[in-house]
Amino acid sequence: MKLARYGAAGQEKPALVDAAGRLRDLSGHVEDIAGEVLSPGSLARLARLDPDTLPPVEGDVRLGAPVGRVGKFIGVGLNYSDHAAEAGMKLPKDPILFSKATSSIAGPNDDVLLPDYALKADWEVELAVVIGTPARQVSAARALEYVAGYCVCNDLSERAFQLETSGQWLKGKGLDGFGPLGPYLVTPDEAGDVQALDLFLDLNGERTQTGNTSRMVFSVAEIIAETSRYMTLLPGDVITTGTPPGVGMGRKPQRFLRPGDEMRLGVAGLGEQRQRVVRRED
């Protein structure tokens, strides 16, 4: 099952995607794709609905992030060995976890707004996982049972704020709009083997990132298990699981985002995002 949220930012409505790829409104059944709606029982109920009985969503609508009321938005650093190499950093012995601000969450095709002091904004296509069941100290063997679904994430990162300021990576990872999610939340039965998914990102039509989740240093299950040692994961929490090589920081010469740039990125089976980079007026 593919779930989505559509409408103006902050006022998104829930929908599911039918076999023809058309959005069907779920407002008559759930208030939002968030919280308890992500539990296995609730998702099973939605999966039993006949999409033909749901009102089709007409017109060209904006898609929001496919999950609402995200409580924690956690990133994983250096989780592909070839990306760690291009970043000139050593492979971690356990997953590097960092925070992204939940206010960075955006729709999959929203413009990316760059403040004029953000000179080193960079792209990172990633597989993100959305938690559906509270998870505390879970084993890797059972960790995937706590997953509601998967989506594409562009873990946009301002490298100067991330690496050249004091403290944590948060400053470079939390800008407004630096966390596009979606287009869909794809449930595990439909996502298939999440350690065998191709990822790509094109910048202005040129392929810049290519990867496969089989190259992760720590698997999705290991990441959930490890994270759940340090905090209870709750329904609606999002973990984005790291990026393959090909980011702007790793290029010679380095290349960072500028107004006018266009990104297209995707993960096999989870859909694609498109973003335009625009100067933020403030």
275 binds Zn ion (CB under 5 A): no
Please name the amino acid found at residue 31.
Answer: E
Structure-token pair, residue 24? 């069907």
> By CB under 5 A, what part of segment 55-94 binds Zn ion?
none
124 binds Zn ion (CB under 5 A): yes
Q: How many residues bind Zn ion (CB under 5 A)?
A: 3
Spatial strand order of the sheet with 73-77 comes to: 23-25, 13-17, 2-6, 185-186, 147-154, 125-131, 238-240, 73-77, 96-99
155 binds Zn ion (CB under 5 A): yes
Number of helical H runs and strand E runs in the chain: 6, 18
DSSP string, 114-129: EPTT---EE--EEEEE
Structure-token pair, residue 185? 């939340």
- What's the closest the beta carbon of residue 27 comes to Zn ion, in angstroms? 33
- What's the closest the beta carbon of residue 118 comes to Zn ion, in angstroms? 17
Q: Are 91 and 80 in contact (CB under 8 A)?
A: no
208 binds Zn ion (CB under 5 A): no
Binding mask 225-254 for Zn ion (x = CB under 5 A): ------------------x-----------
Greatest alpha-carbon pair distance for the chain in Å reads: 54
From the centroid of its chain, how far is CA 173? 13
Looking at 123-131, 182-190, 248-256, 273-281, which segment touches Zn ion (CB under 5 A)? 123-131
- What's the closest the beta carbon of residue 20 comes to Zn ion, in angstroms? 33
- What's the closest the beta carbon of residue 265 comes to Zn ion, in angstroms? 12
154 binds Zn ion (CB under 5 A): no
110 binds Zn ion (CB under 5 A): no
- What's the closest the beta carbon of residue 186 comes to Zn ion, in angstroms? 20
Residues at the interface with Zn ion (CB under 5 A): 124, 155, 243
